[in-house]
Every structure is written in structure tokens, then in C-alpha cells.
């Protein structure tokens, strides 16, 4: 691995391909030792050239802030530029832990602070829901077709989880160990908070119901207040935050078996129904999938929901086991 690429990675100047190369290299035998030697070398060079006498504990504190993504981040960067921290920092384990957290959402390795560590994963099938009680007292409600993973040392060393899909989090307070949710698109940091997180197919969102959270993505950090939702949509190559208010039932209704649609395209609703009820839906020509729908269905079966939609949208349907056919009303 080229030294210049590693330095660019540490300084957050690497492009996507260079980041991929570094992360793959770090998994190779001997890479950790080489990386440790590089950090040590850069630290010694920095001390020689700059005669830096900065308090080492303060530097480590700033690194912790950077890794945890808290609101103190901006202040930390003002006091100690990130590139300088990396040059001076001698803590290889801390830095590698940060990199592996960026990649996997969890501290990665056989041991963490002397504690044996394994990965724990919980998943749901399409149409299923699962409630988890974590060791710290936090509660997670996992929506269908979703998974969450965390370390067996959760709560003792840190409170990091990785989410793929959708879940509602009720977080127990612990100011010393911020609760962090990593998805492919963003990092959410919370103390005592309740929020809904979604991450699937390039679309990411966090909707806050109580407390405060910090969201970090695309090298930006924002804070949400209760009633706000942040959406990051990478499907259209527009990696920018969109913050707005949200309808509670529309976002959180899935926990109570409520489907709520407010001017949502019919095609999107049918996609949701396919995931919700674990069916495959075939739409024949003549159906306007872009027509928007307003409606709420509470604990209804698939036939009831399609009957209501078909009446207002002018289509009829057939259900054969897990196959659903939709065609324009013949009347």
C-alpha cells in the first residue's frame, strides 16, 4: 500500500477508490503492524519538525470526539486540526478502531480493552417485527426485512450498533457512552433519545421524537430537535441533507400496524405492501403508478388494503398465495 494514499486517507482527502483500497489493505496480514509503524513515524517526524509539546491527553480527547461524532467536533477541529492529530497520535488501537467502526459500525477485533468480543446479530423477515432489550436498558423495535448487529461487549466498552433496514430506538441515558447507530450512509449519535432510523437501497433517514441527536454524513454534521426528520438520498447522486418536520403516524405507524399515506405515489405504496405482507406484486399496463394517494389503514390484512385502494384508484386485484396481480378495473 502506497504511503501517500494512507496519509490521504487519514487526512480525509482520499477519494472513494482510495478509501476502498486502504480498508481492504487493513484486513491483510501484517497491515496493522505496518500501519502502526507509519503512525509512529509520522508522529516522530511531527515532533522533530514542529517541536510540538501539546498535552497528549488533550489530543486523545479530541480523537475521541472525532470518532464519536459529537457536537464538540467543530471546536475540536479548531483547537487541533485533524491532520495534525493523526500525525501526532501514537494510539494505533484507537485509530484502527475508528477506521473499522467506519467500515463495520462496530469496534472490530478479537479483544476490546481486554474483553473478548463477538458479533451479535438479530434479523427479521419480510412482514415481521422484533423487539430487543439491550444490556444498557435501551429498547429497539426492528421492522420487517431488517437487521441489527452489535458487539458482545455492548454497554461495557461502548454502545455502537449497525443497522440495515428500519428500527425505532428508545435510548437509555449514559453520558459517558453515547449511543451510536451506523448505517451505510450516516452516523447517528444520541444520549437519552427516541428516534426512528431507516437505511435501505441508498435512502437514509432519522426522525426524532424526543431528546437530541447528532447526524454525521457526507462530511457534515447536523443536530435534530424533536419533530424533525433528516433524509439523505444517494439514489439520485444528491448526497445532501434535507431536514423537515414529519407526520408521526406516517413515519412511526409501522410499529402499531398502521399504514399511513399522505400524497404518496401508488407505485411506492405497492412496493411497501410487497415488503409489509411478503408478496410479489405484478402491475399490468394501464395503472397510473404515479397517481398520489391519501389514506390510513389500521391493522388491515392485504385484501382489505387492496380493496380500499382499488376502489379509489380504479383497479382490481387477485391474490394467489404470495402472488398479487393488479389490473385496470374492467367496469
- Taking the CA of residue 270 as centre, how many other CA atoms within 13 Å lie in the half-sphere pointing to its CB? 26
- The 3-class secondary structure across 234-292, one letter per residue, is CCCCEEEEEEEECCHHHHHHHHHCEEEEEEEEHHHHHHHHHHHHCCEEEECCCCCCCCE
Strand partners, 14: none
> Does residue 294 share a domain with residue 278?
yes
Same domain, yes or no: 195 and 293? no
Q: 232-268, pLDDT tens digit by residue?
A: 887 766 556 789 999 888 888 888 888 888 888 998 8
Q: What is the distance of C-alpha 237 from the center of its chain? A: 18
**Residue numbers of the domain that contains 94:** 3-104
Domain final position from 229, 250, 271? 250
| Statement to judge: residues 134 and 192 lie in one domain | yes
In a domain, 177, yes or no: yes
**pLDDT for residue 21:** 77
Report yes or no: 296 and 308 within 8 Å, Cβ to Cβ.
no
Q: How many domains would you assign to the chain?
A: 3
Please, are residues 228 and 245 in contact by the beta-carbon 8 Å criterion?
A: yes
The whole-number pLDDT of residue 25 equals 75
The 10s digit of each residue's pLDDT in 30-86 is 776 676 666 656 555 444 444 444 444 444 444 444 444 433 444 444 444 444 444
CATH of the domain at 272: 3.55.50.30
Q: CA torsion sign, 216 to 218 to 220 to 223?
A: negative
> Are both 81 and 175 inside the same structural domain?
no
266 and 245 belong to one structural domain: no
Residue where a domain terminates, one of 250, 276, 300: 250
pLDDT tens for the chain, residues 1 to 331: 677 777 776 666 667 677 777 777 776 777 766 766 666 565 554 444 444 444 444 444 444 444 444 334 444 444 444 444 443 333 333 344 344 344 443 333 344 444 445 889 999 987 788 999 999 999 999 998 899 999 888 988 889 999 999 999 999 998 888 999 998 778 999 977 999 999 887 888 999 999 999 998 877 888 999 999 998 887 766 556 789 999 888 888 888 888 888 888 998 889 888 877 888 999 988 888 999 988 888 878 889 889 989 888 889 999 988 899 999 887 6
Whether residue 203 sits in one domain with residue 137: yes
- pLDDT number for residue 326: 92
Q: Of 199, 159, 4, which Cα lies nearest the Cα of 68?
A: 159
- Do 195 and 281 fall into the same domain? no
Three-state secondary structure along the chain?
A: CCHHHHHHHHCCCCCHHHHHHHHHHCCCCCHHHHHHHHHHHHHHHHHHHHCCCCCHHHHHHHHHHHHHCCCCHHHHHHHCCHHHHHHHCCCHHHHHHHHHHHHHCCCCCCEECCEECCEEEEECCCCCCEEEECCCCCEEEECCCCEEEEECCCCCCCEEEEEEEEEEEECCCCCCCCEEEECCCCEEEECCCEEEEEEECCEEEEEEEECCEEEEECCEEEEECCCEEEEEECCCCEEEEEEEECCHHHHHHHHHCEEEEEEEEHHHHHHHHHHHHCCEEEECCCCCCCCEEEEEEECCCHHHHHHHHHHHHCEEEEEECCEEEEEECCC
**pTM reported for the whole predicted model:** 0.59
- How does 291-307 read in b/e, with b if 16+ C-beta sit within 10 Å? eebeeebeeeebeebbe
Identify whether residues 265 and 243 lie together within a single domain: no
Q: Is residue 323 part of a domain?
A: yes
Domain boundary among 250, 284, 299: 250
Nine-digit cell string for 108: 472490530
Quick one: 215 and 320 in the same domain? Answer: no
Q: Are residues 279 and 225 in the same domain?
A: no
Q: Identify the pLDDT of residue 32.
A: 65
The predicted structure's pLDDT at residue 85: 40
d(CA 159, CA 217): 19
State the helix-helix crossing angle for 92-104 and 16-25, rounded to 10 degrees: 120
126 close to 278: Cβ distance less than 8 angstroms: yes
Do 50 and 100 lie in a common domain? yes
| Same domain? 265 vs 242 | no
Amino acid at each position: 500500500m502506497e504511503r501517500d494514499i494512507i496519509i490521504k486517507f487519514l487526512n480525509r482527502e482520499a477519494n472513494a477508490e482510495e478509501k476502498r483500497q486502504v480498508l481492504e489493505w487493513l484486513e491483510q496480514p501484517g497491515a496493522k503492524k505496518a500501519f502502526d509503524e507509519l503512525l509512529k513515524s509520522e508522529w516522530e517526524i511531527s515532533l522533530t519538525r514542529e517541536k510540538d509539546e501539546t498535552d497528549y491527553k488533550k489530543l486523545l480527547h479530541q480523537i475521541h470526539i472525532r470518532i464519536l461524532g459529537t457536537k464538540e467536533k467543530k471546536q475540536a477541529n479548531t483547537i487541533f486540526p485533524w491532520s495534525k492529530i493523526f500525525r501526532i497520535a501514537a494510539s494505533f488501537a484507537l485509530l484502527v478502531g475508528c477506521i473499522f467502526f467506519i467500515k463495520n459500525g462496530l469496534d472490530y477485533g478479537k479483544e476490546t480493552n481486554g474483553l473478548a468480543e463477538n458479533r451479535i446479530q438479530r434479523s427479521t423477515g419480510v412482514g415481521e417485527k422484533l423487539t430487543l432489550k439491550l444490556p444498557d436498558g435501551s429498547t429497539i423495535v426492528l421492522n420487517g426485512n431488517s437487521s441489527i448487529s452489535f458487539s458482545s461487549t455492548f454497554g461495557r466498552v461502548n454502545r455502537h450498533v449497525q443497522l440495515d433496514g428500519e428500527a425505532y430506538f428508545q435510548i437509555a441515558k449514559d453520558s459517558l457512552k453515547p449511543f451510536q447507530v451506523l448505517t451505510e450512509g450516516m452516523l447517528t449519535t444520541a444520549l437519552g433519545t427516541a428516534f426512528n432510523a431507516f437505511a435501505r437501497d441508498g435512502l437514509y433517514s432519522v426522525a426524532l421524537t424526543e431528546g437530541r441527536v447528532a447526524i454525521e454524513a457526507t462530511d457534515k454534521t447536523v443536530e435534530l430537535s424533536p419533530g424533525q426528520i433528516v433524509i439523505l438520498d444517494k439514489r439520485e447522486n444528491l448526497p445532501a441533507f434535507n431536514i423537515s418536520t414529519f407526520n408521526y403516524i406516517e413515519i412511526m405507524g409501522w410499529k402499531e400496524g398502521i399504514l399511513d399515506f399522505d400524497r404518496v405515489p401508488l407505485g411506492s405504496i405497492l412496493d411497501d405492501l410487497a415488503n409489509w405482507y411478503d408478496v410479489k406484486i405484478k402491475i399490468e399496463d394501464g395503472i397510473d403508478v404515479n397517481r398520489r394517494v391519501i389514506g390510513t389503514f389500521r391493522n388491515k390484512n392485504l385484501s382489505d388494503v387492496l380493496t380500499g385502494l382499488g376502489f379509489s384508484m380504479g383497479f382490481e386485484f387477485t391474490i394467489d398465495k404470495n402472488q398479487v396481480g393488479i389490473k385496470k378495473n374492467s367496469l
